[in-house]
């Protein structure tokens, strides 16, 4: 089911992504390369490099099911928007001691 959902998302968004080559970047941050769901914990970080929005897609996460019961399924979760910097190496959020 997770692979079907990912394929559907990529297929739907593919034409928009093709118009702005490189706008959306995806990085596998969990699971096994070549099959995010193979280990039952694949996680993909997706970023919009133009507007700074980012999402995580998780192959196996707890989601609400029918009758309020929880089940394991695939989730695409919006994480927020990053502030775009003015130049490479700029510190966006500084930390102090």
pLDDT in tens, 28-44: 987 655 554 444 568 89
The predicted pLDDT at position 93 comes to 77
Classify residue 15 by burial, with Cβ atoms within 10 Å: 0-12, 13-18, 19+.
exposed
The predicted pLDDT at position 36 comes to 44
Q: Which residue has the higher pLDDT, 24 or 94?
A: 24
The predicted pLDDT at position 37 comes to 44
The b/e string for 57-74 (b: 16+ C-beta within 10 A; e otherwise) is bbbbbeeeeeeeeeeebb
| For residues 77-84, average pLDDT | 87
Q: Which residue has the higher pLDDT, 17 or 62?
A: 62
């Amino acid at each position: 089911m997770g692979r079907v959902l990912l394929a559907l998302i990529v297929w739907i968004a593919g034409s928009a992504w093709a118009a702005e080559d490189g706008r959306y970047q995806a990085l596998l941050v969990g699971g096994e390369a070549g099959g995010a769901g193979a280990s039952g914990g694949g996680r993909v970080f997706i970023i919009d490099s133009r507007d700074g929005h980012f999402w995580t897609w998780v192959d196996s996460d707890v989601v609400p099911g029918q009758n309020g019961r929880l089940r394991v399924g695939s989730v695409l979760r919006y994480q927020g928007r990053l502030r775009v910097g003015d130049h490479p190496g700029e510190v966006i959020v500084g930390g102090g001691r």
